[in-house]
Chain A
Amino acid sequence: GEDVEQSLFLSVREGDSSVINCTYTDSSSTYLYWYKQEPGAGLQLLTYIFSNMDMKQDQRLTVLLNKKDKHLSLRIADTQTGDSAIYFCADLTGGGNKLTFGTGTQLKVEL
């Protein structure tokens, strides 16, 4: 089945950029998503990218997709303490029916 991997932890200083990486295995993916989860809460959709795109920018967020290497990244510019959370990448698979989630990356923003 589909396998989506992320690094577990990232620590950055406030004001710096954060880059969260994700790799996936399903070459038939159509959409890839980034979700944010704060402690004890559900998931908030941050952004997404269609598989025929290389890059998408949305305010402080930049998504890069390397389809050949099956690598997805999320860059957060000017990272703030409120960005501290767990970030999940997700891949739309199963003929467009299922989201397969990555393992999640805990982002910690230090002053």
Chain B
Amino acid sequence: GAVVSQHPSWVICKSGTSVKIECRSLDFQATTMFWYRQFPKQSLMLMATSNEGSKATYEQGVEKDKFLINHASLTLSTLTVTSAHPEDSSFYICSARDFGVAGKLETQYFGPGTRLLVL
């Protein structure tokens, strides 16, 4: 099946620094990728939709200047948490949409997640 990777898998940083998280589709091209945030014992919250070659679409309440998204190629999207603060500590998960070929279900495949801890 389709594989999506994320890097790093976990990161600890100081308050005020910026952190970049990469999301890659390894064996398919993804014109659309999604970034989610998950708090402990809670569901996934969609933060933004990342479109290759254009600006990301952010969900209501998500600060686009704080969570910078760049989808520069069909296999890579990055999420940069700028000036991170302890309240940004969370589990960030990306997914990549595989449209596949005719007759194949369009499906989102998820990365393994990145755990961010801001001290």
Q: Which residues of A contact B (CB under 8 A)?
A: 31, 35, 40-45, 48, 88, 96-104
Contact = CB atoms under 8 A, between A and B. Distances in A.
A101 B105 contact: no
B110 interface: yes
Overall SS of chain A's interface:
strand
Contacts of A96: 106
Contacts of A103: 42-43
Contacts, number: 45
A48 B113 contact: no
The bracket for how many chain B residues form the interface is 20 to 34
Interface in B38-72: 41-44, 46, 49
Contacts of B1: 45
Nearest to B109: A45
B110 A48 contact: no
Given A48-B107, A104-B42, A97 B113 contact: no
Contacts of B41: 104
Contact of A42 (B42, B49, B107, B113): B113
B15 interface: no
Contact of A43 (B42, B93, B105, B106): B93
B41 to A, nearest CB: 8
B113 A98 contact: no
Nearest to B10: A40
Contacts of B111: 42
A104 B113 contact: no
A77 to B, nearest CB: 22
Nearest to B9: A40
Contact of B43 (A40, A44, A45, A102): A102
A97 B108 CA distance: 10
A43 B44 CA distance: 10
